[in-house]
């Protein structure tokens, strides 16, 4: 028989929400970008937005997807043979030579730091088997991670297709996903990279085009630049300060460096990672069976402005204790429920609740032990 769920509601505060102004208006500043978004990297919370879901051309920030697919292929140490098609790709270039073999890892560094379109095609042909095959992988990954308003048609972002587009928010989702990969995080934050050139006595040296990382903003940890005549300037960056990690995206932004600095300064000054639930035993549980015996494994934090604490609440949902659990605590499942964290009455996080078997007194075990000792004294075997 399936266990029924019963509810224990612990409301830290129940907020009555009225009309909420847009984040762009409430922030008190503006950006040059036609589309922009600032999100918390850990939770995905939107801290600022301007036309964040409007579909636009994205130029070379497309290469974030190309890079993460190359890394996830597991072939970073393999050599890639550069095709004629790759060499003659227009736009920014690593000046690869037809027929040369370059390690995939080197190509990804050149892709991210110097925005090499020739590297993008070489990577796509190697990882996807063909450009079409790689584009299929790009759109499949986009769907998997929740990029609902995105369609990729090439691996570099050139304006050679009408159906190549995304949104500021979708690109933030992509960067959030990619930054969970340690190798991508390292590459994205590299300022200078050196790669061997077997056909020359000089090694290749690639310096990152992301000036926010190299000179303009001390808290920047990585990102990707982009530009085409139709897309204009596009930029995705990441920044970290005092344990808080943010992602900024701008599309069609004449003053993108300052746009990102303005958004980051706003995010870091107005929001802090607030402790919503502390790891360890949950003290708010009053049920006699669970009291003092249930816990969560890690702290739960959420970015909040100083006046937003009242808008958080936590709800605990626990399984109804079964009779055999009370007799023998070892029968109790390890996970006995979940804690749901709400902000403005929207569920923003759910974490499992664990049962501490060591905190339970198993009365049946004492009875079994007494019976065993008593019968042994009478010379009676337990198993008959």
The annotation status of 283 as a binding-site residue, yes or no, is no
pLDDT score recorded for residue 9: 44
Q: Give the CB-side neighbour count of residue 46, counting CA atoms within 13 A.
A: 20
What is the radius of gyration, based on Cα positions, of the chain?
27
CATH of 31-270, one of 3.40.710.10, 3.40.50.720, 3.20.20.140, 3.40.50.620: 3.40.710.10
Counting Cβ atoms within 10 Å, is residue 382 exposed (0-12), middle (13-18) or buried (19+)? exposed
Q: From the candidates 27, 60, 188, 329, which is the catalytic residue?
A: 60
CA distance 119 to 152: 17
- For the question of residue 306 being annotated catalytic, the response is no
User: What is the average pLDDT value for the chain, to the nearest integer?
Assistant: 88
Enter the DSSP assignment of 98: T
Segment 254-261 shows an average pLDDT of 98
Q: From the candidates 27, 50, 92, 115, which is the catalytic residue?
A: 115
Q: From the candidates 63, 209, 232, 293, which is the catalytic residue?
A: 63
- Of 231-235, 286-290, 357-361, the least confident: 357-361
- For the question of residue 22 being annotated catalytic, the response is no
Axis crossing angle, helix 104-114 with helix 117-128, rounded to the nearest 10 = 140
Segment 224-246 shows an average pLDDT of 97
Site of tokens 């932004």: 253
Token readout for 303 is 């970015």
Hey, what CATH topology would domain 5-16+274-363 get?
Spermidine Synthase; Chain: A, domain 2 (2.30.140)
Q: Which residue has the higher pLDDT, 255 or 10?
A: 255
Question: CATH 2.30.140.30 region(s) of the chain?
Answer: 5-16+274-363
pLDDT score recorded for residue 26: 59
Under the banding of pLDDT at 50, 70 and 90, the label for residue 16 is very low
pLDDT score recorded for residue 327: 79
pLDDT score recorded for residue 378: 52
Under the banding of pLDDT at 50, 70 and 90, the label for residue 330 is confident
Question: CATH 3.40.710.10 region(s) of the chain?
Answer: 31-270
Enter the DSSP assignment of 181: S
Under the banding of pLDDT at 50, 70 and 90, the label for residue 360 is low
Q: What is the end-to-end Cα distance of the chain in Å, rounded? A: 33
CA distance 155 to 157: 6
Segment 45-63 shows an average pLDDT of 98
pTM of the entire structure?
0.83
pLDDT of 364 above 50: no
pLDDT of 247 above 50: yes
Under the banding of pLDDT at 50, 70 and 90, the label for residue 257 is very high
Dihedral over Cα of 91, 93, 97, 103: its sign? negative
* Contact between 105 and 117 (Cβ < 8 Å): no
- Of 57-61, 73-77, 290-294, the least confident: 290-294
Enter the DSSP assignment of 281: E
369's enclosing H/E stretch is: helix 363-377
- For the question of residue 361 being annotated catalytic, the response is no
Q: How far is CA 98 from the centre of its chain?
A: 37
């Amino acid at each position: 028989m399936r266990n029924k769920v019963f509810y224990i509601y612990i409301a830290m505060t129940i907020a009555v929400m009225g009309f909420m102004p847009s984040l762009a208006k409430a922030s008190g500043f503006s950006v040059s970008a036609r589309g922009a978004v600032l999100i918390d990297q850990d939770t995905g919370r939107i801290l600022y937005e301007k036309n964040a879901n409007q579909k636009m051309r994205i130029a070379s920030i497309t290469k974030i997807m190309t890079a993460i697919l190359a890394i996830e292929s597991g072939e970073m140490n393999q050599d890639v043979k550069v095709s004629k098609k790759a060499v003659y790709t227009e736009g920014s270039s690593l000046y690869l030579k037809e027929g040369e073999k370059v390690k995939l890892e080197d190509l990804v560094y050149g892709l991210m730091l110097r925005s090499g379109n020739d590297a993008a095609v070489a990577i796509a042909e190697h990882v996807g088997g063909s450009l079409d095959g790689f584009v299929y992988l790009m759109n499949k990954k986009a769907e998997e991670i929740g990029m609902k308003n995105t369609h990729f048609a090439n691996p570099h972002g050139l304006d050679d297709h009408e159906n190549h587009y995304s949104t500021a928010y979708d690109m933030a989702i992509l960067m959030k996903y990619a930054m969970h990969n340690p190798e991508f995080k390292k590459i994205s934050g590299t300022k200078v990279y050196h790669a061997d050139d077997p056909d020359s006595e000089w090694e290749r040296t690639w310096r990152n085009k992301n000036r926010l990382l190299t000179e303009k903003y001390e808290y920047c940890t990585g990102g990707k630049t982009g530009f085409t005549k139709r897309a204009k300037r596009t930029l995705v960056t990441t920044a970290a300060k005092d344990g808080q990690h943010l992602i900024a995206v701008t599309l069609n932004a004449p003053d993108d460096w300052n746009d990102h600095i303005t958004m980051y300064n706003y995010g870091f000054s107005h929001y802090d990672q607030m402790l919503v639930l502390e790891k360890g035993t949950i003290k708010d549980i009053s049920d006699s069976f669970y009291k003092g015996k249930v816990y969560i494994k890690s702290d739960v934090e959420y970015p909040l402005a100083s006046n937003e604490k009242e808008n958080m609440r936590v709800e605990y949902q626990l399984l109804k204790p079964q009779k055999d659990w009370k007799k023998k605590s070892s029968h109790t499942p390890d996970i006995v429920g979940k804690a749901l964290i709400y902000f403005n009455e929207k569920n923003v996080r759910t974490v499992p609740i664990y049962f501490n078997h060591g905190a339970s007194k198993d009365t049946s075990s004492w009875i079994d032990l007494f019976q065993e000792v008593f019968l042994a004294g009478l010379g009676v075997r337990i198993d008959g």
